[in-house]
Structures are given as C-alpha cells and as structure tokens.
Structure 1
Amino acid sequence: MPPKKQQSGDEKVLLGRPSNNLKIGVVGLPNVGKSTFFNAITSSSVPAENYPFCTIDPTESRVAVPDERFDWLCEQYKPASRVPAHLTIIDIAGLVKGASAGAGLGNAFLSNISAVDGIFHVVRAFNDPDVVHVEGEVEPTRDLETIHNELRLKDTAMLNKYIEANQRNIERMGGGGSVDDKKKKDEFNVIVKVRDWVASGKDVRKGEWSNKEVEIINGQYLLTAKPVTYLANVSERDYLRKKNKFLPVIKKWIDENNPGDKLIPFSAAYESELAAIEDPVEKNKVAEEKGGPSVFPKIIVTGYDQLNLMHFFTAGAKEVRAWTCRRGAKMTDAARNIHNDIANSLIQVDVMKFDDLKAAGSENALKAAGKLHIRGKDAIIEDGDIVYFRSGEGRAKK
C-alpha cells in the first residue's frame, strides 16, 4: 500500500534538514558536462577533462540568487553594502553503474551526495565523438535509470542495515513495553515501510508521508528523499535553435517516473563561452547576437525553490541584504538568521510588502498610506518581506 496522505489541518513537516544553509549537488554520469556546468555557473576552475572520474573530491562554491526586488531595493536605498541571497552548489564526481556496491569509488561519491540537500541531475543530450561516454553511446533514459537505480539501491542497503541491526530487539519487545519501547517499534515500522517503498522502485520524495514519518525519514539522510532538478546538457547549436532530439525522450521519462520534476535544457559549451566574457555589456551583446540568453538565472532560482528556500530583506542606507530561510518560517526563525539575541528577545516585527513599497515609492509614503504591517514573533514571514525586527534588548535589524 502507498504511504498515507497528509492529514489536513496539520502543519506540514518538510523532508530534509531544518536549516537555512542548504546545499545542492551536481550529479550525473562521468563526462556529461557536470564540471563544465559547475565552472561556468560559479566562475570556478574545477578540472573538466575528457575522461571518467576527472573530479574526485567535491568542490563547493556559492552563486548569487537573481532577484529583481533586491536590485530595486539597492537602487532605492543606494546602500554602502549590498548582500544578495546565495545558493551553495557542490560539484560531485560522476557515478557509474554499480556505484552502490563500490564501483568507481562509488561509496565515497554517494557519501558526498548524502551531504547535500538537493540535486541538479545533469544528463547528456548531445553526440560528440571527441567526448567519451562511459557507456559507449549517448542514451539519456539509460543514464537516468542508472543514476536513480544507484541512489535507490544505496538507500535500500542503508535501510536494510538498520532493520537487520534492530529486528531482533523489536521482536523481543512483543506487544507491550515502555513508552520508549513503543517509540522504537514505531520508528522501526516506519523504516520497514520506507524500505519497501524504495525497494519497489520509487523515490522517498515521491511518497505521501505523515509528519511523524517525515521526522523519522529525516534522521536517515536518504538519497532519494532529496529534491531533483533535471538539467539536459545539449550542444550549443541545439540550444540556440531550441531543438534537440533527446529532449522529448527525457521529458517522457521524467513524466512517467518522477512526475512534477522540472527539466531545464542548457548548453555547458555555450554557457562556458558566455562565462568567459567578463564585461556584462559585452556578454549581453554576444548573447543577443546569438539569440540565446544564459539559462543560469533560471537554473539557480529553480534549485533555490526546490530546496523550499526563500528570502526576506533588511534595507537601509548602510546595507540592503537578502536573508535566506525555509518557506513557512516564523518571525523568530527568520530573526535567528541575523542574531540569536534578536530572536530570543523579539517583541514585534515591522513589515513592508515589496509591492506596496514599490508602489508607494518610499518608506514615508508607504507609512502615510497605512501600509506598514505590525506582526508578532509567531507570525509566518513571507517571501520578499522587508522587515524591521524590534527586540527587547534593543538589538534590532533594519
């Protein structure tokens, strides 16, 4: 039976770490363009050679999250300091078939995936005899299946290990026992349920789990519980003409196996060419002449959103800053991003809605129009809120 649906009225507990400092890993087979993509999107210089396992140790970098609201606030306040929101991206070495059993240094690579919170799954969608394919020929659906099967196999093995280590003790408890025993039995039963779900060929993230089940799942750091955005690496020619023979096949596979997941075509070769142009004006000119703007802003925003992240703003003459937090966070959780003392002694929050501020043209005009909102510390902060935290200790942040 499939997992039970979430009870209506409950506050949904999200899969994944309850943190604002979340990371997304670039995953795929060797030689599909992962490191080229990483180098271009982060302006890094990770080796991107034409042979398997060129990348061994994961490489981490941060990229700014594009936001026109942040740009407008900077133009409005003209602050001395400007700090946008960031997304942390990690380049992970290529997986191969059998990685879950240790093939191709697979255990180390799967451990790297376990340490991230979301996945950019890069799949190769171009033919090039000069770029070796680890399986000999380009076949995207086979490559997609390979990665997903390895992640599921690893999750199944991890869950089986837990079950084998605890089954005898659970059986000894019988039908009675203490409150602690009942808690252990409930956790064991959830783990068995999740193991059966994954072993049937389904990702954990595609199940409907109760809050109690999600809390137990989150303690296992399962690979298939992580949100996935698919990035199809096409040739520069195909990207610019917006046509590629592999894309319909990839889209069909996603719709059949992981409905709802997003697919974004990009060209690592073309993005690398644009990334090499340092002057923004010249870069935009080249992109306009070729008829293909960079898709990186869309990829970054999509990855950020897939992690259930959003940001709020503090704005003034000294600084305009975008602060990252999870969707559904309370004002106290948001304030804790800035300083624990502010969160611990928070009294109230002055909130300006971005659209209201933009329409009014200034803070004074917004306040005169009665559009400044006062919120309590347990209120939910919303994406794009411009806030002033009022703290009992006098440590407020505007």
Structure 2
Amino acid sequence: MPPKKQVTEDKVQLGRPGNNLKIGVVGLPNVGKSTFFNAITNSAVPAENYPFCTIDPAEARVGVPDERLDWLHDLYAPTKRVEAFLTITDIAGLVKGASTGAGLGNAFLSNISAVDGIFHVVRAFTDADVVHVEGEVDPARDLEIIHTELRLKDIAMLNKFIEINQRVIDRMGGGGSVEDKKKKDEFNTILKVRDWVASGKDVRKGVWSNREVDAINSQFLLTAKPVTYLANVSEKDYVRKKNKFLPLIKKWIDENNPGDRLIPFSAAFESSVAAIEDPQERAAFIKESGVPTAFPKIIVTGYDQLNLMHFFTVGTGCEVRAWTCRKGAKMPEAARSIHNDIADSLIQVDVMRYEDLKVAGSEAELKATGKLHIRGKDAAIDDGDIVYFRSGMGKAKK
C-alpha cells in the first residue's frame, strides 16, 4: 500500500490579506518624516518646524523600481508601461504617552493601525534650528519611545479583549461545543500574545501557529506590522558616508528587534534631488554628489517587508505591466489582481520565467526550447513570472 501523501499546510501570514497594502511613515515629531514623504512622493505636505504640523495622514503611491520591467519594455516596445506601486502614508509624530492620549496620540495610533507596515524614521542629525521634542538628539531613546508606545497600545487593546471575554470563558467550564472550544483557543492565544508583548517583545517577532495567527490578525495589533528603520542623517554625513549615531541605532535594533533592516538616508539630500525637475540635471547632481538616492532601496525594501512581489503581463503594441500580489500566492489570487472574472473562471496559465526569456531573447526562441510552462489553478506564482491567464469565460490577460 503506497504511503499517504503528505499535505503541507500553507503558512498564514500576519496582517491583512490582499494586495492593496500600505506602509506608514512613523516617528517622533521633527525627525524628518514629512520631508521624507514630500521628497519620495513629490507631494506637498507641510513640513514646518514644530510638532503636529501633519495632522491628517497624507497618502501617495510610488512606483517600485524593477530592472526586469525595464528590460521587458525594451523587448516588447509597448505603447504603455505600468510599474507596480507602493502606497505610503505620512503619519503625524508620536510623543511619549501617546498610548494614553498624550499629544494627539489616540488619533495617530489609529492611523498606524490602518496601515500594514511601518517606515520608522529616527533622527540622526543635530541642527539647532530644528527643535527636538525631547530636547536633545538621542536615537536610542527615540526608538525606545516609539517601541514602548506601540507596545503599550497593543497591551491595552489585548487587555480590553480579555476583560470583555473573561466571564464568558469562565461560564463555559471544562466542556462545551466545537464553537466554545474555538472561543477558548482564541482567548488563550490572546492571553499568550498579551504576555509576549508585556515582556517587551513585538508580536511580529514571535513564532505563531496558523490558528494563533488567525486570532492575532483579528486584533489589528501595531507590533505585528513589519518595520524598516530609516535613519535620517545630515546631507554632509550622507555624502561622506559617516555618522556618529548609526552604530547606536544599529545596536538598539540588534538588541531589541534583531534582523530588522536599517537604511541610512538624508531627507535634506533627497529634497535637493527631488527639487530638480529636469532628469538629466538630476542625474548630474547625483553623480557629482558621489552617492545615490536611497529611495529605490527604501521602496523595494518596504515592498518586500509587506511580503509583496510582482508578476508581469506583456504584449507587443499594447502594454507591459507589473502586477502586485502576495508572496506564495496561488494563480487565482494573482489573477484577481487583474480582474475577478479572470480569477473566478481560470482554467490554466501559460508561464514564462523571466530568466528563461532573457536568455532566449524572444518569445519565439523561448517556445522553441520548450521553456513555456503550463500551470494549473493550484500552482503558486513566482516573483517575476510572465503570465497569460486562460479563462473559461473567454477573458484572458496577457
């Protein structure tokens, strides 16, 4: 008798499902968040030198740079080229005590709850003309303030859930229905998560089962969101690639959230670059400075931290386009990025691997070598796949 086929359970991811995810810019007041946002999105958000200048979160989309899309555009010469996008939200500065309502804490924390990931901007420059809400520049202290406020807010939300549900769980006793057992499991998970966060750790750093992740996702916890740390250094330090605060920031991250990404950038430098409208003049300014803009690296890292990737659809004379989906997505989920009708009636998918197409040099050559793959609905789509969805309703997207 043949052995039973092992079924591997797909890992449930922390956070909201779907592809239209957002990343929020978070930090203390006057650390350069809105200046960063203005430059990266070419938007016009006030960036004045006083706390709470940004009251309502501003939102913009930025293109995700990808050399593969550039190559496909050159190959197919389409009439239209569409990048994948990352949605960025500028959130006003948090202060110590925000978790209990200090400053405009409750509103700001709810804005963080509405995004799916965090760009944590920390100040790593001194400037007598730019006041610091805590009096002096101390990146480790600033990081600890934000970390503590997000953690305290999570603890408060979890304690509220526990308080509301404790009596219901107590009345169930030892037995109960399947539904009662499910409620008990969820309650016990929340207790476990509360204790984890109370110990000073972020939810995202825990190892959780799929059942536990489902319970965590229902709470929309702030410390469950992926974080990329952005150290805002002076323009002078950025150009010379030296800054006295960076080792302190790196040490704090290694001790508190090991494995998280740290990207130095200069809001002042990026503002100077963004202010140059002519592409050739902008390129000349960057070349003369001797350092690249940090924005491509920041955008790609944020996109990756949200567990997003993209695949491509191509066509001579029409468009070459990058579509966003979650890593590990099955073909119907990827097709839903384009249109629900395609996903609902999907039959099969023609797939070209980007690397294979680049080696072959053309679709005709790739097909001649047998590198055009046919995939079913249960197959996972991979980053960089070039696909043609075949639909039972006669609707396909290439």
TM bin, normalised by shorter chain, reads: over 0.9
TM-score normalised to the size of structure 2?
A: 0.97
Aligned to 2:384: 384
TM-score normalised to the size of structure 1?
A: 0.97
The range that moved more, 361-370 or 29-38, is 361-370
CA RMSD of the aligned region, Å? 0.8
Aligned to 2:249: 250
Unaligned runs of 5+ in 2: 1-6
Matched residue count: 391
The 2-side partners of 1:307 and 1:234 are apart by 25
Aligned to 2:3: none
Aligned to 1:344: 344
Aligned to 2:135: 136
- Confirm or deny: 8 A CA contact 1:346 1:392 kept in the other structure: yes
Aligned to 2:294: 295
* Matching of residue 31 in structure 1 with residue 26 in structure 2: no
Per-residue deviation, residues 311-331 of structure 1 (Å, max 9, x unmatched): 000000211110000000000
* Matching of residue 146 in structure 1 with residue 114 in structure 2: no
The 1-side partners of 2:140 and 2:346 are apart by 52
Per-residue deviation, residues 9-39 of structure 1 (Å, max 9, x unmatched): 4321110111100000000000000000000
CA displacement at 1:85 relative to structure 2: 0.1
Written as runs of structure 1 = structure 2, the 5 A alignment for 1:31-110 is 31-110=30-109
Aligned to 2:4: none
Question: Secondary structure of the equivalent of 1:338?
Answer: coil
* Matching of residue 225 in structure 1 with residue 217 in structure 2: no
Question: Secondary structure of the equivalent of 2:231?
Answer: strand
The 1-side partners of 2:373 and 2:190 are apart by 45
Question: Secondary structure of the equivalent of 1:316?
Answer: coil
CA displacement at 1:56 relative to structure 2: 0.4
- Confirm or deny: 8 A CA contact 1:125 1:140 kept in the other structure: yes
The 2-side partners of 1:267 and 1:344 are apart by 46
Unaligned runs of 5+ in 1: 1-7
Aligned to 1:267: 266
Per-residue deviation, residues 46-87 of structure 1 (Å, max 9, x unmatched): 000000000000000000000000011111111111110000
Identical pairs, percent: 80
Aligned to 2:182: 183
Aligned to 2:305: 306
- Confirm or deny: 8 A CA contact 1:239 1:266 kept in the other structure: yes
Aligned residue type for 1:194: V
The 1-side partners of 2:352 and 2:40 are apart by 33
Per-residue deviation, residues 190-233 of structure 1 (Å, max 9, x unmatched): 01110010011100000000010001101110000000000000
Aligned residue type for 2:32: G
Aligned residue type for 2:301: T
The 2-side partners of 1:50 and 1:339 are apart by 45
The 1-side partners of 2:356 and 2:42 are apart by 36
The 1-side partners of 2:54 and 2:40 are apart by 17
Aligned to 1:394: 394
The 2-side partners of 1:358 and 1:341 are apart by 31
The 2-side partners of 1:197 and 1:34 are apart by 30
The 1-side partners of 2:18 and 2:32 are apart by 29
The 1-side partners of 2:40 and 2:164 are apart by 43
The 1-side partners of 2:266 and 2:46 are apart by 18
Aligned to 1:3: none
- Confirm or deny: 8 A CA contact 1:46 1:59 kept in the other structure: yes
Per-residue deviation, residues 123-152 of structure 1 (Å, max 9, x unmatched): 000000000000000000000000000000
Structure 1 stretches (4+) deviating beyond 3 angstroms? none
